[in-house]
Amino acid sequence: MRTSRPLLPGLIEACHAVIVSNADHLGELDRAIGDGDHGTNMKRGSEAVYAERDQLGGLPLPEALEKIGMVLVTTIGGAAGPLYGTLLIEMGRGLRAAGSGDGVLAETLPPAVAAVARRGRAQAGDKTLLDVLYAVQQAVLKQSPPAEVAAYAMSAATDTIAMKALRGRASFLGDRSIGHMDPGACSCALLTGSICRFLEEFPSA
Amino acid sequence: MNTNGANVGIVIVSHSPLIARGTADMVRQMVGDSVPLAWCGGNAEGGLGTNARDILTAITSAWSEAGVAVFVDLGGAETNSEMAIEMLEPARARRVLICNAPIVEGAVMAAAEASGGAALARVVATAEELSP
Ligand SMILES: [Mg+2]
């Protein structure tokens, strides 16, 4: 990743587009096993980041990631705001500490995902967005091509359908949470897919 | 007793602004203006929700040198409160605690304790005795 300038606004636009076009679907998933606000919350967050995309693109990448994380924390709300926010803030901090270089961004992922797990007090198999993050982390560390990373993410989200929720509102439903995809896992897989498609079209990044 | 003369502040965080405000009303009825108090709840569209920025504002407005006890309802309220506390400067963050207690009973009991000048740890412990 040479410079954040052309790359980051494009990534933000891609993430914004996938959230806006899937907001209703995310809301439906959350209505089934939660409080129904995941679509509107994610849309609010992605619109806030989208509005600042040019300014964010002018920042060094570590600062930009941290700033996006803070915007997500304060605009998404719910439980997803702190989780997505923590992911990006920690990636930004990791990147700043590690300096620049090929593959450095990938190395920031495991500690950032671990921070998300601590924040949500969740682990693999709890039927949360972490189930997707772990799959993405594994694929990225294996240096899988973007299309493969996206496929792993979607398959991990699909795997949450059979799980019983152990964290969040959905856990109140017990066994009745089984049979529905976790909305956070879904948004995480959609975002991963969108980011991967974008990166494939811009291999120089 | 805390030694600086200020009573511990109380912050109430609910997904519902009606619950947060109603709980704050019950606290006020109990302790009047003797305890710094703030509440927040709801999302930007007027629906249900919590977010870290509103919680940060509430903590700041109920700030006391003796510290602040935060009462939350469900999951996101707690996670967002944790984020809000981390946004404070470290010297302040150390003096804010999230109580593991029922929001209404906890806030009212904590406020009663705080109004007598109890230290933050005592205020929190009193409220947490309500949780099994
Ligand atoms: Mg929700």
Give ipTM to 2 decimals: 0.86
Residues with CB under 5 A from ligand 1 (ion): A 30, 34-35, 37-38
The label of the residue with tokens 């469900």 reads B74
Identify the structural domains of chain B with CATH numbers, from first to last.
9-124 (3.40.50.510)
Does some domain include residue A205? no
Q: Supply the CATH number for residue A55's domain.
A: 1.25.40.340
pLDDT at A1 over 60: no
Report chain A residues touching chain B, CB-CB < 8 A: 35, 37, 40-41, 44, 73-79, 81-83, 85-86, 119-120, 167-169
Reported pTM: 0.91
pLDDT at B82 over 90: yes
Ligand 1 centre distance from Cα of residue A198 (Å)? 28
- The residue in chain B having the minimum alpha-carbon distance to the alpha carbon of residue A35 is B48
Inter-chain contact B80–A40, Cβ cutoff 8 Å?
no
Q: How many structural domains is chain A composed of?
A: 1
The whole-number pLDDT of residue A164 equals 97
| Domain assignment of residue A140, given as a range | 2-200
Q: Average of pLDDT values for A181-194?
A: 98
- The residue in chain A having the minimum alpha-carbon distance to the alpha carbon of residue B76 is A79
Inter-chain contact B44–A41, Cβ cutoff 8 Å?
no
Tell me: the pLDDT tens digits for A7-52?
899 999 999 999 999 999 999 999 999 999 999 999 999 999 999 9
DSSP result, A147-204: HHHHHHHHHHHHHGGGSPP-SSGGGGGGGGGTTS--HHHHHHHHHHHHHHHHHHH-TT
Distance CA A199, CA A6 (A): 12
Ligand 1 centre distance from Cα of residue A34 (Å)? 5
